[in-house]
C-alpha cells in the first residue's frame, strides 16, 4: 500500500506496467517444435499451449509444480434469498476441500496438482451490493495484496478457482457493469436458482448496477463496489503471476469476471492466462468472447472450485511433456527421404 495516496494507487501503477512475453523463449520453442517427430502443426492447440508457456515463463515449456488456488468468500447480497444454498456452505465446503472430499481434490490427485485454499474472512460477508459497496477501497486493496501471496510458495502453472455462495450474482453484476446489455444476459442459475430465486437475482443485479452506475467507468471501482473478497484476491493472484512469469489457467464464470476487471484496466492484462473451460453458466461463453479467448474444454461443468482449470492443467502438462520429451527427426532417424538423412 502507498505511504501516501489511496490504497488502489499501487495497483493502478502496476496495471500500467505489466511485463510482456519473452520473444527469445518463444522463438526457441517454435524452432524446437519444427524439429519434433510429427507433421508440422499436427499437435494442434497443444503446440500453441507450448508456445504460450515459453512466452510467459521465458523458459523452455515445462510444468513441474502446478498449483490450484481456491479463494473463498461470503457475500452480503445473499440476504435477498437468491441462492438455493445458504452462505454457511462456503465454510463447509472449505472444510471438505481440506478433508479431500470435494471434486477438486480428486482432479488434483488425477493430474498431480498441488492445492491451496485461501479463505477470506468468511465470518464477515461483504456489503450487500444492492444497497452499498461490497468493500472499502482499503479492504479491497488489502485483499488483492493477500491474493498476490498465493504464489509465494512457488509454482509454474497457477490454476485459479473459487468458492462462495452468492458469487455468481456478483459476477453477473461485474459483467453487466463492464459490458452492458441486460441483466438477463449475465444472470444464470449458479448452483440452481430458478423461478422466483432467479427473478430476484436478476432484480438485485439490476439494482446493484443502477446504484453504483456513476462509478463504474473505473474497473477497480467495479471490483470493490460489485465484487467480493475472493474476486479481489483472484485479481491480485493473476497480477502477481504476471509479475513472476507464471502462466495462469482461469476456471469458470466467477474467475472469468474477476479476470475481466484486469482486462478492462489494461487490454493486455490477461495475455498470460488461458481459460480452462467454458462452464454451463449461460453468461460464461459470452464473457469469454468479450475477452477474445477460446476455452480449452467444454464439458458442461458448472461447479467452480477450480475444477475446469484443473482438468485443463492436465492438457497443459501434456503439451509441455510433448514439447520437451519428443524426439527430433534427427534423433529418431525419421526421414521423408528414402535412405536419406533429412525430413
Ligand X SMILES: Cc1cc2nc[nH]c2cc1C
Ligand Y SMILES: O=C(O)c1ccc[n+]([C@@H]2O[C@H](COP(=O)([O-])O)[C@@H](O)[C@H]2O)c1
In the 8-state DSSP scheme, what is residue 276?
A: -
- For ligand X, the binding residue among 14, 72, 163, 235 (CB under 6 A) is 163
The C-alpha cell of 28 is what?
Answer: 526457441
- Our CB check for ligand Y shows the closer of 266 and 279 to be 279
Please check whether residue 88 is in contact with residue 78, taking contact to mean a CB–CB distance below 8 angstroms.
no
Q: How many helices (H) and strands (E) does the chain have?
A: 15, 5
Q: Which of positions 178-217 make contact with ligand X (CB under 6 A)?
A: 191
Shortest CB 138 distance to ligand X, Å = 28
- Our CB check for ligand Y shows the closer of 35 and 91 to be 91
Q: Describe the strand order of the beta sheet including 248-250 as a list of residue ranges.
A: 114-119, 66-72, 157-163, 248-250, 273-275
| Burial of residue 17 (number of CB atoms within 10 Å: 0-12, 13-18, 19+) | exposed
Instruction: Compute CA 179 distance to the chain's CA centroid, rounded to the nearest angstrom.
Output: 18
Shortest CB 61 distance to ligand Y, Å = 27
Residue 140 to residue 146: CA distance in whole angstroms: 10
Shortest CB 56 distance to ligand X, Å = 28
- Our CB check for ligand Y shows the closer of 66 and 164 to be 164
Which positions from 269 to 308 touch ligand X by CB under 6 A, shown as an x/- string?
Answer: ----------------------------------xxx---
- Our CB check for ligand Y shows the closer of 302 and 317 to be 302
The region of 85-93, 112-120, 171-179, 240-248 touching ligand X under the rule CB under 6 A is 85-93
In the 8-state DSSP scheme, what is residue 328?
A: B
Check residue 167 for interaction with ligand Y (CB under 6 A): yes
* Rg of the chain taking only CA atoms, in angstroms: 21
Please check whether residue 86 is in contact with residue 38, taking contact to mean a CB–CB distance below 8 angstroms.
no
In the 8-state DSSP scheme, what is residue 151?
A: G
- Our CB check for ligand Y shows the closer of 8 and 118 to be 118
- For ligand X, the binding residue among 10, 85, 198, 244 (CB under 6 A) is 85
Q: Which of positions 89-108 make contact with ligand X (CB under 6 A)?
A: 89, 93
Count how many Cα atoms sit within 13 Å of the Cα of residue 185 in the half-sphere of its side chain. 12
User: What is the binding site for ligand Y (CB under 6 A)?
Assistant: 83, 162-169, 190-191, 193, 251-254, 279, 281, 284, 302-305
User: What is the binding site for ligand X (CB under 6 A)?
Assistant: 85, 89, 93, 163, 191, 303-305
Amino acid at each position: 500500500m502507498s505511504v501516501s495516496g489511496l490504497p488502489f494507487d499501487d495497483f493502478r501503477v502496476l496495471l500500467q506496467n505489466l511485463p510482456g512475453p519473452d520473444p527469445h523463449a518463444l522463438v526457441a520453442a517454435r524452432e524446437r517444435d519444427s524439429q519434433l517427430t510429427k507433421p508440422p502443426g499436427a499437435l494442434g492447440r497443444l503446440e500453441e499451449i507450448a508456445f504460450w508457456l515459453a512466452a510467459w515463463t521465458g523458459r523452455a515449456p515445462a510444468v513441474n509444480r502446478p498449483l490450484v488456488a481456491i479463494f473463498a468468500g461470503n457475500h452480503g447480497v445473499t440476504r435477498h434469498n437468491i441462492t438455493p444454498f445458504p452462505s454457511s456452505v462456503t465454510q463447509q465446503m472449505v472444510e471438505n476441500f481440506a478433508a479431500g472430499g470435494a471434486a477438486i481434490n480428486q482432479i488434483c490427485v488425477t493430474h498431480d496438482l498441488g492445492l491451496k485454499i485461501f479463505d477470506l474472512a468468511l465470518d464477515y460477508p461483504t456489503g450487500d451490493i444492492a444497497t452499498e459497496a461490497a468493500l472499502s477501497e482499503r479492504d479491497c486493496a488489502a485483499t488483492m495484496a493477500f491474493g498476490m501471496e498465493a504464489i509465494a510458495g512457488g509454482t509454474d502453472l497457477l490454476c485459479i478457482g473459487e468458492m462462495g455462495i452468492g458469487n455468481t450474482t456478483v459476477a453477473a453484476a461485474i459483467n453487466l457493469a463492464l459490458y452492458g446489455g441486460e441483466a438477463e444476459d449475465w444472470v444464470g442459475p449458479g448452483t440452481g436458482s430458478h423461478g422466483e430465486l432467479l427473478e430476484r437475482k436478476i432484480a438485485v443485479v439490476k439494482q446493484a448496477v443502477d446504484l453504483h452506475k456513476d462509478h463504474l467507468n473505473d474497473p477497480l471501482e467495479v471490483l470493490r463496489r460489485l465484487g467480493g473478497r475472493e474476486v479481489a484476491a483472484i485479481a491480485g493472484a493473476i497480477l502477481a503471476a504476471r509479475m513472476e512469469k507464471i502462466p495462469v489457467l482461469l476456471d469458470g464464470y466467477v474467475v472469468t469476471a474477476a479476470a475481466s476487471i484486469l482486462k478492462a484496466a489494461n487490454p493486455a492484462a490477461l495475455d498470460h492466462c488461458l481459460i480452462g473451460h467454458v462452464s454451463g453458466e449461460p453468461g460464461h461463453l459470452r464473457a469469454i468472447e468479450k475477452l477474445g479467448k477460446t476455452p480449452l474444454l467444454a464439458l458442461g461443468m458448472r461447479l467452480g472450485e477450480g475444477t475446469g482449470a484443473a482438468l485443463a492443467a492436465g492438457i497443459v502438462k501434456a503439451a509441455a511433456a510433448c514439447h520437451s520429451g519428443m524426439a527430433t527427426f534427427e534423433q529418431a532417424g525419421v526421414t521423408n527421404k528414402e535412405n536419406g538423412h533429412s525430413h
